[in-house]
Amino acid sequence: MSQRSCLSVILAAGEGTRMKSALPKVLHQIAGLPMVAHVVKAAEAAGASGLALVIGHGADEMRKAAARFAPKAETFEQEKRLGTAHAVIAARAAISNGYDDVLVMFGDTPLIDADALTLARRRLAEGAAVVVIGFRPPNPTGYGRLIEKDGKLTAIREEKDCSEEEKKIGFCNAGMMAVAGAHALKLLDAVGNKNAKGEYYLTDIVEIASAQNLDVVATEASFESALGINNRVELAQAEAIWQQRRRYDAMLSGVTLIAPETVFFSHDTEIGADTIVEPNVWFGPGVRIASGAKIHAFSHIEGATIASNCDVGPFARLRPGADLRNKAKVGNFCEVKQAVIEDGAKVNHLTYIGDARVGAGANIGAGTITCNYDGYSKFFTDIGEGAFIGSNSSLVAPVTIGNGGYIASGSVITESVPDDALAFGRARQKTIPGKGKELRERFASAAAAKKKAAGADH
């Protein structure tokens, strides 16, 4: 089947009035990604090489969004909403390109499983002309029933048209279909609109195909995979299901989630084995975490890269561009944005580091801030390896603190500090060349003596 070409036609033209939103329904997000983009990902995972988005309400906004999540997709506008078959035929130009398989999907079913689509394609490869994807909801009331006979699907019956016996059928229409490309346009063009609403229904192709002695079969997807979103309640339900799946996968891949139900992932979160995530952590888009990290409770992380064995939080915020290298530490009530925290550096308490580099092994004291913005432009702060920034210091960018530089607590630093220098900025800045190195040697000697004395006491 891998050699069969496949087009996915995704219907995304509905207004979604029950969402009560100016935003097109299918652009509402699940795990930080528009729900229609989840559908696109599932289609691609099932082998779709062509994508056709049928749009309507908010067409310009849909095109702009599609350029981000499906740059290779063709868009087709359905100017009048005259039913599902009418929507599919809007993509006639794409369908006529001769694909072996045509998947018809809906932009408001973000949980669809690629395996369900792959199974439908497999039935096409085995000779079926139409494959309808069905599901078994807990309560089938309101859904169209799939009527089967001798292993073939003979009709899709709307509930209002069902007999009492047919209403007992629990196998229902999920709406999605796979159609053999060789028959797709012929079947679609045969759909009429002689019904109460005067619309063209995609489901009619089941009886049309059967009347032409073409094989029509049904496959089954899980209820969750077929869940359609019509309002904000269902949107929240889908989010909960998606998060539950992702937590499950993360734990099976070697991640410890101490309270899984309190951790929220984004659609693209990457997290390595042996990472421990404490309760109430939120991952926004663009987070990559290597193995062995520890993310403490109540941390908020987005657009950040966290290397092996880093320690983050509790109550830390990593904003886009935060780049923590091996064994770096960002502690409680700290915020890091567009900054590199190099190997073993520590940003422990009540600190803001933005547009900066913190060199390997440097220590940033409590209450330190990089003053990176003057109201108009951003400026860079460079903190060298092994530097020590005393508590409650303000580093006014652009400024460089050299390797081994030592900033006295409570300083406002407006001028660059050379390697191994001590800088005071409490009133007028005073810089003493070499004093930083002298202080470190004195403090190290005193610490060693204290340790030796403590050992003698025992």
What does 30-48 look like in DSSP terms, one character per residue? ETTEEHHHHHHHHHHHTT-
Q: How far apart are CA 3 and CA 234, in angstroms?
A: 37
The token pair at 114 is 């690629």
Show the tokens assigned to 118.
């792959």
**β-bridge pairing 276-277 and 256-257:** parallel
pLDDT at 196: 77
Dihedral, 61, 62, 65, 67 alpha carbons, nearest 10:
-110
| pLDDT tens for the chain, residues 1 to 458 | 568 999 999 999 887 789 999 999 999 999 999 999 999 999 999 999 999 999 988 889 999 999 999 999 999 998 888 899 999 999 999 999 999 999 999 999 999 999 999 999 999 999 999 999 999 999 988 899 999 988 889 889 888 888 888 899 999 999 999 999 999 999 999 999 888 788 899 999 999 999 999 999 999 999 999 999 999 999 999 999 999 999 999 999 999 999 999 999 999 999 999 999 999 999 999 999 999 999 999 999 999 999 999 999 999 999 999 999 999 999 999 999 999 999 999 999 999 999 999 999 999 999 999 999 998 999 999 999 999 999 999 999 999 999 999 999 999 999 999 999 999 988 777 899 999 999 999 999 999 998 888 877 76
pLDDT for the residue 458: 65
* CB hemisphere CA count around 38 (13 angstroms): 28
**Cβ of 160: how many Cβ atoms within 10 Å?**
7
245-457 classified as CATH 2.130.10.10:
no
- C-alpha 211/C-alpha 229 separation (Å) is 33
What is the C-alpha to C-alpha distance for residues 266 and 77, in angstroms, rounded to an integer? Answer: 30
Q: Distances from the Cα of 340 to the Cαs of 91, 323, 327, 458, in angstroms?
A: 47, 5, 13, 43
**Could you tell me if 184 and 95 are in contact, meaning their C-beta atoms sit under 8 angstroms apart?**
yes
Characterize the bridge pairing of strands 152-157 and 335-341: unpaired
- In CATH, which of 3.90.550.10, 3.40.50.720, 3.30.420.40, 3.50.50.60 is domain 6-220? 3.90.550.10
CA atoms within 13 A on the CB side of 85: 21
Instruction: Mark 254-286 as b/e (b = at least 16 C-beta within 10 Å).
Output: ebebeebebbbbbbebebbeebebbebbbbbeb
Query: Which one, of 210, 100, 96, lies nearest residue 155 by Cα?
Result: 210
Active site residues: 349
Helix (H) or strand (E) holding 175: strand 172-180
Q: State residue 79's pLDDT score.
A: 83
Instruction: Give Cα separations from 211 to 84, 187, 243, 430 (angstroms).
Output: 21, 11, 44, 93
Note the pLDDT of residue 11: 95
Residues 131 and 177 sit within 8 Å (Cβ to Cβ): yes
Q: Where do the domains of the chain lie?
A: 6-220, 245-457
* pTM for this entry: 0.88
